Structure 1
Amino acid sequence: MQLLTIGINHHTAPVALRERVAFPLEQIKPALAAFKSLWVAGGSSAEPEAAILSTCNRTELYCAADDLSTREAAIDWLSSYHGMDAGELAPHVYTLPQSEAVRHAFRVASGLDSMVLGETQILGQMKTAVRTASEAGALGTYLNQLFQRTFSVAKEVRGTTAVGAQSVSMAAAAVRLAQRIFDKVSNQRVLFIGAGEMIELCATHFAAQEPRELVVANRTAERGAKLAERFRGHAMPLSELPARMHEFDIIVSCTASTLPIIGLGAVERAVKARRHRPIFMVDLAVPRDIEPEVAKLQDVFLYTVDDLGAVVREGHASRQAAVAQAETIIETRVQSFMQWLDARSVVPVIRHMHTQADALRRAEVERALKMLARGDDPAAVLEAMSQSLTNKLIHGPTHALNRASSSERSTLIELLGGVYRHDKPSSDH
């Protein structure tokens, strides 16, 4: 089996492209079935394995199959699934085979490939991706082993290095940017759209600044109210957003919507109602919640996840020693996994040897039973059976030695010596 990871992330593609190949959670299981069928249709002899990791910063497909040489086919599938032209997507896609795929998985889970160095959210997202793939029946021996080792490596890196120390999260970066626009966040009204993990993190950071008002708008009213209550704020129905947008100085949005929920016209009306007092907007969703044209409006300061990247990278240099330590750990664990993978490659050969040997055994036992049934001497039957079985078992190696060239024969003798361990008889008595 061959391992392969293909994908795009914040290093290779802008958010405008990433949002077009993102997979909503409810689409992942059917997408996995479609992706696996790519190799089944191509005549794959072994059951392929697959998992999809889709976050605001990356969309990646991890797979294992007996033939993963068709990079173009995988890119064609990804682009066609999302209704894109393959030529548009291909320049942004990375393809990582075998040990590169293993190394990449370890680095991603450890937070070394994140926009926020050392962040922990990606580990939970990867575990969700693995659980979803497992529920879809898309995991097997190889990817199961890869991800279990991935989680173990991530735990080791986070437990023995300072990669995550003093990291600046997206939420903290949003507060920093808000402080550049407004003298005091404490004088501002803040609206959070959504109630997921990222919004909860942002609400924690903004609440620490004690804003004038904190409001949560969410499709599920109960969940929004529960989150607002935690931060001494209040909730409002998402349907009221167009009419009340002008009330808020800071708007942070991160939902799972596949289409923008804040359009250009709505923001234009809000700016007019505010008499051109500035609005600070943060769109942490992929696909984006806020139409990108909003950024062109005067008095609107719109930031996406990519815009926040420069802020969160400011502290990376101070943690390079920890990164080097983490990379060393990862490299050692990659080598260990590849040794396991190499060992797995001989399993089909060993299984075939067992099948052949068992077939020979059964044939000889059947012949011996017939001889006993007709009254032959049991000792003679056992002797004949043992000789016949021995001859058949060593026929293959003997035939190979007789047909080998002189150089091949030397190699075979050395290998067979290790197999049969024909040590010289000891002179000790």
Structure 2
Amino acid sequence: MVLFSLVASHSNIDLETVARLSAGAAAVSAEVVSGNNAVAGLVTLATCNRYELYAQARSAEEVEDARQSIVAAVSAHSGLAEHQVAEALATQEGPAVPRHLFAVSTGLDSAVVGEREIAGQVRRALSTAQDAGVSTPALVRLFQAASKTAKEVGAQTALGRRGMSIVSVALELAADLQDVRSLAGKTAVLFGTGAYAGAAMAQLAQRGCTDIRVYSISGRAETFTASRGGTALSEETLPGALAEAHLLVGCSGSEQQLAAADLAGLRPGGSAQLTAIDLALSHDFAPDVADLPGVDLLTLETVRQAAPAEQQETLSEAAALVASAAESFEQAQNARSLDHAIVALRRHTMAVLDDEIAKIRQQHGCTAATAEVEFAMRRMVKQLLHVPTVRAKELAAAGDAESYLSALDALYGLKVEPAGLQAAAEEKLAMTHDGGESASA
């Protein structure tokens, strides 16, 4: 089976398109994997500035079919034409897949380089796919390796030591705009109750903001504040909170937008300066909010431009660790590509051995001498299989599985299909068998 990815992020496309692509992300995964197509598994990483799909095709020959299935599903749920989706999602295959994901998980590919939240988002993406039953062992290994790489980079380099994140940079900008060192004494209204809203609330509290009011169009504010603190808002209490707020933080990405007209009547002249921080891809605040007197609007693009750069030495160290981890992952993946061939060789050899031992038992019975001969023969066969097994792993890791398969055919007459074709054939056989059983039932 073959891994590939479809990637759209702040580094290669505008955030408006990323937001549209992300619509219905969960439905896309379930729909694509449950369908009878070339996609064996799919893990979706959707954050405030990226939409990435990591997929497993059933064979190398079916990668394009798998890609088309995903593009069609994303198109159906996003409302974008298929050609727009295809152009927006950059396709990655081979070593580029782990290399990119590992860079993402460490924060090297983030708008705020070295951000802390992304590692948790990568872990949650895998967990969500596993809960939905759309992951595969290969995808699990890929994402677990990404998380391990993030930990190693964090432990061995200074990347992310300052604890910078999109939220922290945004709040620092807000403090600068309001000409304050901390947010103590400020009132904040937080829109949203997801993981990102939780991170925003924690950052607000770290900066001294104790009056945090939470609004959720889905009605989850009560549950959210019960475990994190703050005050839950309703439709009735929201207007009063907006009138008193110094900070608005949007993390919901709901279809309902707060516009200038909604705020104008609530905040007459003389109201406290207001900073609206829109961290939602699909925008919680309309752009015209920035036209109101005494109101500043910060967006993801604003934050990205203001984010401080990491030291070049730190970036180089982190990039080297990512490259090494990606190479190790690729070698480990290749090493697995001949597992089925090793099994075939062992099965063939053991079958010959069992036949010979059966002949000895027929001639000499189950005597002590027969047992000693059997023990010696099995030990000899085990030793003879050692070198072919080691060579298989070496050739697989080097990406030369074809030489080993050709050798098995030439030396033993064993015709073993490449791993991808073998898996596809076994799956087809299993489906045929299941169908036959169902029909007979």
TM-score by length of 2: 0.71
Q: How many angstroms does 1:99 deviate by?
A: 0.6
2:302 corresponds in structure 1 to 307
From 80, 83, 90, the counterpart of 1:84: 80
Question: 2: CA distance between counterparts of 1:228 and 1:158?
Answer: 27
Q: How many angstroms does 1:324 deviate by?
A: 0.9
Deviations 1:162-187 (A, max 9, x none): 11122532233223322343233556
Question: 1: CA distance between counterparts of 2:292 and 2:12?
Answer: 28
1:329 aligns with 2:318: no
Question: 2: CA distance between counterparts of 1:143 and 1:200?
Answer: 27
1:396 corresponds in structure 2 to none
Question: 2: CA distance between counterparts of 1:208 and 1:334?
Answer: 35
Deviations 1:347-382 (A, max 9, x none): 3334455566677789x68x979x99xxxxxx9xxx
Instruction: Give the secondary structure class of the aligned counterpart of 1:69.
Output: helix
Counterpart of 1:198 in structure 2: which amino acid? Y
2:261 corresponds in structure 1 to 265
1:248 corresponds in structure 2 to 245
> In 1, are the aligned partners of 2:116 and 2:164 still within 8 Å (CA)?
no
Question: 1: CA distance between counterparts of 2:34 and 2:221?
Answer: 40
> In 1, are the aligned partners of 2:214 and 2:221 still within 8 Å (CA)?
no
Segments of 5+ residues of structure 2 without an aligned counterpart are 364-369, 371-376, 378-402, 413-441
1:191 corresponds in structure 2 to 189
2:214 corresponds in structure 1 to 216
Question: 1: CA distance between counterparts of 2:328 and 2:211?
Answer: 53
Q: Could you say which structure has the larger radius of gyration?
A: 1
> In 2, are the aligned partners of 1:109 and 1:154 still within 8 Å (CA)?
yes
CA distance 1:179–1:33, shift in 2 (3 Å): closer
CA distance 1:214–1:356, shift in 2 (3 Å): closer
Question: 1: CA distance between counterparts of 2:56 and 2:221?
Answer: 42
> In 2, are the aligned partners of 1:263 and 1:290 still within 8 Å (CA)?
yes
2:432 corresponds in structure 1 to none
CA distance 1:51–1:119, shift in 2 (3 Å): same
Question: 1: CA distance between counterparts of 2:68 and 2:136?
Answer: 24
> In 2, are the aligned partners of 1:117 and 1:167 still within 8 Å (CA)?
no
1:279 aligns with 2:274: yes
Q: How many angstroms does 1:85 deviate by?
A: 1.2
From 153, 157, 162, the counterpart of 1:161: 157
CA RMSD in angstroms comes to 3.7
> In 1, are the aligned partners of 2:7 and 2:91 still within 8 Å (CA)?
yes
> In 1, are the aligned partners of 2:276 and 2:298 still within 8 Å (CA)?
yes
Question: 2: CA distance between counterparts of 1:352 and 1:345?
Answer: 13
Segments of 5+ residues of structure 1 without an aligned counterpart are 373-378, 380-385, 387-410, 421-429
Counterpart of 2:284 in structure 1: which amino acid? D
1:35 corresponds in structure 2 to 32
Instruction: Give the secondary structure class of the aligned counterpart of 2:215.
Output: strand
1:375 corresponds in structure 2 to none
> In 1, are the aligned partners of 2:23 and 2:78 still within 8 Å (CA)?
no
1:16 corresponds in structure 2 to 16
Q: How many angstroms does 1:293 deviate by?
A: 4.1
Counterpart of 2:32 in structure 1: which amino acid? F
Instruction: Give the secondary structure class of the aligned counterpart of 1:237.
Output: coil
Question: 1: CA distance between counterparts of 2:18 and 2:136?
Answer: 28
Counterpart of 1:113 in structure 2: which amino acid? D
Counterpart of 2:54 in structure 1: which amino acid? Y
1:63 aligns with 2:60: no
> In 2, are the aligned partners of 1:246 and 1:274 still within 8 Å (CA)?
no
2:170 corresponds in structure 1 to 174
Counterpart of 1:191 in structure 2: which amino acid? V
1:101 aligns with 2:97: yes
Q: How many angstroms does 1:84 deviate by?
A: 1.1
> In 2, are the aligned partners of 1:195 and 1:227 still within 8 Å (CA)?
no
Q: How many angstroms does 1:266 deviate by?
A: 1.0
Number of residue-to-residue matches in the alignment: 365
CA distance 1:267–1:12, shift in 2 (3 Å): farther
Instruction: Give the secondary structure class of the aligned counterpart of 1:19.
Output: helix
Q: How many angstroms does 1:20 deviate by?
A: 1.2
> In 2, are the aligned partners of 1:216 and 1:228 still within 8 Å (CA)?
no
Instruction: Give the secondary structure class of the aligned counterpart of 1:259.
Output: coil
Q: How many angstroms does 1:14 deviate by?
A: 2.2
